[in-house]
Amino acid sequence: MEEIRNENEELEQSQEEEVVEEFLEPTPYRGRYKRDLDKDDEQDSATVQKDTDALDEDAEATPDKERPETAEERVFKKRYDDLKRHYDTTVLKFKDEVSKLKEQLASGVQEFKPPKDKNELSAWRQKYPDVYDIIKTIAIEEADQKAKLVETKLKSLEDAQVEVSLQKAEVDLLSYTLTIKK
């Protein structure tokens, strides 16, 4: 009988040591139910994960029957619930943003309406200084290219004009020499 009591005491002590070890083991954002889930994962590796999209805004993060009992577990559970809720709202916000951008892209590119007078131009320049600088740089480059093209055409026209004047002078000289010889 005494052996049975000794075995029971040893069993209780070993269980208490396990509880103390589990309590001392750092498990941030995990409650007792989460540790139990981890034990199940060790036994069975095939698990089904829930999608965060299915989260209902009005529903609580965990049912009442899984609520932690100790104060520390409640704190960890609250942290976990708050982080999960924040994560879900952030994911939802970004998904909405992405869908809006996709719709905007699908609807077509927005038409650019350039400013019509100097006041509108100065207001637009203050609102979008980086875009203004880029457009200005592109305009200057295109103007330089066109100026070079005009200069080459002007040079060729001047050369042609000099050549034509030389030919005219030759013709005049020949006609003058022919009139003198006669």
Q: Assess if residue 176 is contained within a domain.
A: no
In a domain, 182, yes or no: no
Domain span including residue 77: 1-43+51-111
| Cα separation values, 39 from 34, 43, 68, 113, Å | 9, 7, 17, 63
What is the pLDDT at residue 124?
85
Q: Is 135 contained in some domain?
A: no
Is 26 a member of any domain? yes
Could you report the per-residue pLDDT of 115-165, keeping only the tens digit for each? Answer: 788 898 888 889 889 988 999 999 999 999 999 999 999 999 999 999 999
Which long-range contacts link 79-87 to residues 24+ away (Cβ below 8 Å)? 79/28, 79/29, 80/29, 80/30, 80/31, 80/34, 83/29, 84/52, 85/61, 87/52
Domain-located, residue 93? yes
| 56 part of a folded domain | yes
Number of domains in the chain: 1
Query: What distance in Å separates the CA atoms of residue 99 and residue 106, rounded to the nearest whole number?
Result: 10
pTM: 0.32
Mutual angle of helices 118-127 and 129-181, in 10-degree steps: 130
Greatest alpha-carbon pair distance for the chain in Å reads: 161
Structural domain contains residue 160: no
Long-range contacts of the stretch 24-32 (C-beta < 8 A, 24+): 27/76, 28/76, 28/79, 29/76, 29/79, 29/80, 29/83, 30/76, 30/80, 31/66, 31/68, 31/73, 31/76, 31/77, 31/80, 32/68, 32/69, 32/73
Please give the C-alpha separations between residue 67 and each of 57, 89, 178, in angstroms, as whole numbers: 19, 22, 123
Question: Is 157 contained in some domain?
Answer: no
Cα distance between residue 27 and residue 115, in whole Å: 60
Q: Could you list the pLDDT tens digit for every one of the 182 residues in the chain? A: 677 777 777 777 766 666 555 555 555 665 666 666 656 555 544 444 455 545 454 555 556 666 657 888 888 889 999 999 999 999 999 999 999 988 888 777 666 677 788 898 888 889 889 988 999 999 999 999 999 999 999 999 999 999 999 999 999 888 888 788 76
